[in-house]
A and B are shown apart, each in its own frame.
Chain A
Amino acid sequence: MTGSSLDSGVVWLVILVLGTGTFVLRLSFIQLYAWLDAFPPRLERALGFIPAAVPAALVFPALFPVGGSVVDTLVNPHAAAGGLAAVVAHRTGSMTATIAVGMGALWSVRFLFG
């Protein structure tokens, strides 16, 4: 923590605001759902797809970086390692094995292809 120009009061304020904001976001729908008497059944069915869509939306950008060509986006070390990890996850259901194989694959690709 050397050379910091930020006043520690400002830092604490930022931490407080970010923490509160995160909490309010997390609470938002849990509380809102309780206040509503009837939740539209159609919307309730749609909720079932969120557990699949959220992790996908978090994973894909890490595996398919944009900026280069389309081929660069689709074929790269992260995509290869992530794809192999997905196969391991599907076969074993083990998170430890998934992470181990994924990291091993990433390092192998980096080692072999620079």
Chain B
Amino acid sequence: MLSLSIAPYFARFPTGWKWLLAYFLWTPVYALTLRRLSAEPTSDVRGFYLGMTVPLWITVQGSAAVGAAFSARVPTGPELEFVVPLAFVALLVNFLTDRATEDAALVGGVLAVLAGGVPLGLGVVVATIGGTVAGVLVAAREVEA
């Protein structure tokens, strides 16, 4: 889904660059890049994207190594894993710019809850498609009205 939605912005780069950029397609990087593009459509996508991903990649590798070495000693009590959804809350709020995007998020979120039992994370895919369709429908209705 992320790949599809960022594809138009990467279309003009040569294949080698596309492959490199695709390797770094993480959700937070994706979200911040699209926010930047909506604010400044003419900005240097590749520079902005790599400027985030390269330091992030180094941090991720280092953190993964630390986690692999010490994970057994981290207490599970304080629910530190809840940081991840909170970070996505912060990203999500940025993209709620009008009624249609709000409805896209609402429908996507509710569908994801309902599709929680679907294997391989496919529930998220179904939910995203449902939310996107909802956004398109609401936007079309707003144009008519």
Contacts and interface: CB of A to CB of B under 8 A. Distances in A.
Decide whether A and B assemble into one complex.
Answer: yes
Interface of A: 23, 25-34, 39, 42, 44-64, 66, 73, 78, 81-82, 85-86, 89-90, 93-95, 98-99, 102-103, 106-107, 110
A89 B105 contact: no
Contacts, number: 201
B136 A45 contact: yes
B51 to A, nearest CB: 17
Interface residues of B, number: 67
Interface of B: 1-8, 10-11, 15, 18-19, 21-23, 25, 27, 30-31, 34-35, 78-80, 82-96, 100-102, 104-114, 116, 123-124, 127-128, 130-136, 139
B8 A33 contact: yes
Given A29-B7, A53-B105, A102-B89, A58 B124 contact: yes
Contacts of B112: 56-58, 60-61
B86 A103 contact: yes
Contacts of B89: 55, 59, 82, 85-86, 89, 98, 102
B93 A86 contact: yes
26 contacts: A27-B22, A33-B7, A33-B8, A39-B8, A44-B8, A48-B5, A49-B131, A50-B5, A53-B131, A54-B1, A56-B106, A56-B109, A56-B127, A57-B124, A58-B88, A59-B109, A60-B110, A61-B113, A63-B85, A78-B82, A85-B89, A86-B89, A86-B92, A103-B82, A103-B83, A106-B82
